[in-house]
Chain A
Amino acid sequence: MAKLVLYRLAFVLPQMLVVSVLVFSMTYLVPGSPAGAVLGPSATPEAIAQVEAQLGLDAPPLQRMGEWFTALLQGDLGTAYRSGMPVTDLISQRLPATLSMVVGGMLVALLLGVGVGVLAGTRPGTKVDRLLTGGTVLGIAIPEFWLGLLLTTVFAAHLGWFPIVGWVPPSTDFLGWLHGLVLPSITLGLTGGAIIARQTRAAMVRSLASPFIDTLAAAGVSRRTILYRYGVKNALVPVLASAGVVFAILIGVSFVAEKVFSFPGLGDLMLTSTIGQDFPVVQGVVLVTAALVVAINFVLDISYGLINPQARPA
């Protein structure tokens, strides 16, 4: 087990390193200078040069990268161009809202997705299967933020069952926090769940078509045991893989859904800094997001190794 963890860790570190380097080089891809963006189109070259020196943009690349990395390892993600506030603070303020939404959505997605997938996969070709599969096709096609908009319009604005402004910090009011999370989780969970359901169904069908199913059935093992112990376990691996993908997707979706549910999360931060070309913030959000995704995939990879003995290092 420890071997598995160390092994996977050996992948994670270079991955984060490369992502960091790529993120850092972002600023060099911009036509013109970010300083120009900060000052506006009417800025004079002197003013730009002055701002550049101020923001430290005129130093040689390697030096800047070194400084950036040292700061990074100390937990300092830089300072925003416009507001001058430390990026780390900006992000940590908004992380809880995003995380709440994404985790809530993942839980719903997994429950719904695996449930629907197993149900459909164990009875392929039947009416139930066709109904459920039709549902997943719809779930994948529907724009998430529109769904959120509809849900809030009906359940929050008109029926009043849920607050229109969904976010309540858990420390202030735990139940309120949960209450406010319901609609966003359902919104994210429905699309994520549709993706997971399709993968699960396909994996179940493949697993149940394997010859060992016949061997066990012929040996007299009950159908239920075969379906749920052997069929499902053999289908788990692709499901885990899709869970990782869905997590990444949901983070992106949450950036948009925030607007609908008025959640003060990373999405809004990303939006303003994208429009304003405020690169330290953009870089910070990208790094943090990448770290989150990598972390989740790390956990999933370990689980994958636990389930499938052939994936463990020899």
Chain B
Amino acid sequence: MDASTFVFFLLAGLLVISSLLVVFLRNVVHCAMALVAALLIIAIFFITLHAPMVGILQVMVYAGAIMVLFLFVIMFLNPSVLERPRAAWWSFASLLAVLLGAMLVSLFFNNEPAADPVASTELFGSPEMLAKSLFNDFVLPFEIASVLLLVAIVGAVVLAKRERSV
């Protein structure tokens, strides 16, 4: 086994472990931390897969902004009582989920091993390439996405406002 494979399996194992921690830990903050770890590992995967720009974005936006937001809300709400015990992992719903996973995995196992990846230029995955794609081919979704973010902001403000009793 060569180095890249070893690294892959190591990181994959860590990723799976941290996802399991997200799902099965009782303390919410601990779950959030596990999720941050998972996000960072995924960012590393992105970088190994020749997508450095997206990887950095993952760290900045996902792990950096979104998770911080989560932690803000957790601390804001301050649930003093630990949640009631969740259902056992072998309950019907989660068995369905396991089934889903099994099906997907077997789906991906069954296919022929893919050909070697297409030879890529050095610029692949760089900010320039991403920007070129974004602003030439996908400029409309880009604009819509910005409107979407605006809407989300306004919506969140409206939803979370404290009721003013007059």
Asked whether A and B interact, the reply is: no
Could you tell me which B residues sit within 8 Å of A by CB distance? none
Could you tell me which A residues sit within 8 Å of B by CB distance? none
